[in-house]
Structure 1
Amino acid sequence: MLHAFFLAWLGVALAQISPGPNMMAVIAVALGQGRRHALLVALGIASGSLIWAAAVALGLGALFSTVPVTLTVLKLVGGLYLLFIAAKALRTLLTSSTTNVVPSLAPLSPLGAWRRGTLVVLTNPKAALMWSAIATFLFGAGLGNLQVLAFGPVVAVSALVIYGGYGLVFSTGTATRAYARFWRITEAVFGAAFAALGVTLLVSATGR
């Protein structure tokens, strides 16, 4: 079991390190609201990982394979949520004065920061595909449902370390001072990036 867990974790870690909605969500909040909120976003991502582990242990991975429309629905939901975040960034950009530096992508409460991390990972088709692959690999290695479920905390800890690390790096004084100076450009970049990711998911879902 430990050998299978280690091999699966290597693949997960590479996926977590790579750019995507999870990373962007952490960095955006780290720049705008600092370390605490960024770590809460990372905690939300870790919480979402536990939910995904429970879902695939109960057969959600197989559902994606046998009923492809479920993945299509997830892409639609994820795309719309990313566009919602992009719209909030645009509203912040248009309604804030040049002398009033505001948190990136609009201010979040501590609960809101955690919720954003959770929702981003739960509506991320990349996460759905990753967990489907994890389930296929672990079940194929002879592990049972409880053992697949037990892999969830491994991924959650990995998410806390990796995304928490991004949060710590981008909430440093150097990063926040740069954001304070160029916050309008930063808002525009993050808004455009989230919008591009959202549109990409919607196009993928419609098959165009």
Structure 2
Amino acid sequence: MLQSFLLVLLGVAAAQASPGPNMFAVIETALGRGRRSALLVVAGIASGTLVWAALASLGLGAVFAAVPALLTALKFIGGAYLCYLGFRALRAVLRGGEATLRAETRAVSDLAAWRRGFFVVMTNPKALMMWLALATFLFGTGLNPGQVLLVGPVVALSATLIYGFYGVMFSTGFASRGYARFWRWIEAAFGTAFSALGITLLISGLRDIRP
């Protein structure tokens, strides 16, 4: 079981460190509202991973195996959403308009900041695909539902460390000034990553429906 957990941790850490809606939410909050709000968003994301782990242990993969059309539909919806985010970012770069990654300056409560992180990770198509892959792998190695559930705290800790790093880093004045200066390069990286993820999901969906 320990070996499975270590492999999962490495894969999850790589997924969390790559651009996605979770990172987007943390950085926007850090740039505009500061470290406290950003870390509350991180706490919401970490909480959401525990829910995903519970869903995985209850047979999330089995549900989609029983109703494959549901997974296919989610691939198209998630892929289209990520492509839309990528299109917006790349369009802003090409047109020289306003950045799509905007500092969230409107004051919100601690609960609202936590809630944003929670709902972002629960509606994130990248998170869905990651947990489906994790469930398939973990059950495939012979773990039982209780052991799969224990992956949740491991993933939550990884999310706290990785997204917490982004939250702290982008809440500094240095990072804010750097983003204001190099936002086109940052937007281009986000746009490219989102588009690639979205296209990958769309292609996977097309393969599902291909006779």
Category of TM-score, reference length = shorter chain: 0.7 to 0.9
Q: How does 1:10-29 map to 2 (within 5 A)?
A: 10-29=10-29
The equivalent residue for 1:44 is: 44
Q: Are the structure 2 counterparts of residues 41 and 74 from structure 1 closer, same or farther at C-alpha, using a change threshold of 3 Å?
A: farther
Assess if the C-alpha contact under 8 Å between 2:28 and 2:104 holds in 1: yes
The AA in structure 1 aligned to 2:141 is A
The equivalent residue for 1:98 is: none
Q: TM-score, normalised by structure 2?
A: 0.72
Assess if the C-alpha contact under 8 Å between 2:75 and 2:202 holds in 1: no
Question: How many residues align structurally?
Answer: 192
The AA in structure 2 aligned to 1:107 is R
Q: How does 1:1-208 map to 2 (within 5 A)?
A: 1-72=1-72, 74=74, 104-105=103-104, 107=106, 109=108, 110-178=110-178
Mapped to 2, the partners of 1:107 and 1:205 lie a distance apart of 38
> Deviation per CA, 1:102-159, whole angstroms, max 9, x where unpaired?
x824525222221111111111121111111111111111110000001100000000
Q: TM-score, normalised by structure 1?
A: 0.73
- Of all paired residues, the percent bearing the same amino acid is 57
> Deviation per CA, 1:150-208, whole angstroms, max 9, x where unpaired?
1100000000000000111111121234567899x8xx98xx89x979x879977996x
The AA in structure 1 aligned to 2:170 is F
**Which consecutive residues of structure 2, in runs of 5 or more, have no partner in the other structure?**
89-101, 207-211
Once structures 1 and 2 are overlaid, which stretch shifts more, 66-75 or 162-171? 66-75
**Which consecutive residues of structure 1, in runs of 5 or more, have no partner in the other structure?**
88-102
The AA in structure 2 aligned to 1:71 is L
Assess if the C-alpha contact under 8 Å between 2:25 and 2:41 holds in 1: yes
Secondary structure at the residue paired with 2:19?
A: coil
Q: Are the structure 2 counterparts of residues 115 and 76 from structure 1 closer, same or farther at C-alpha, using a change threshold of 3 Å?
A: farther
Assess if the C-alpha contact under 8 Å between 1:26 and 1:41 holds in 2: yes
Query: 1:12 deviation in Å?
Result: 0.6
Output the aligned Cα RMSD. 3.5
